[in-house]
Amino acid sequence: MTVSIDVRCDNCRGNAISIPINGGDESPVDCEDCGADLGTLADIKTLVSLQVLGRKKVGRPAFMLLN
């Protein structure tokens, strides 16, 4: 199965997202367009997993996934 996602900053709606290559789940994820802190790699993984499973995340993340 292949899932395509579009990760965007909730602050500026930019899609230039910085994720460290060798980072772990606690690595910070930032928007390269506006510099906003988007949380951690674990936050993005959780949101992607929940979207794939068709569930909604409680709360409002600093980023959004458009599919």
And the tokens for 21? 């290559």
Sequence-distant (6+) residues with CB within 8 A of 35 are: none
pLDDT of residue 67: 47
Strand partners, 28: 40
Reported pTM: 0.65
pLDDT of residue 1: 61
Using H for helix, E for strand and C for coil, what is the string for 30-65?
A: EECCCCCEEEEHHHHHHHHHHHHCCCCCCCCCCEEE
Residue with token string 């230039």: 16
- Residue by residue, pLDDT tens for the chain (67 residues) are 666 777 788 899 998 988 888 889 999 999 999 999 989 989 888 887 877 777 555 455 555 555 4
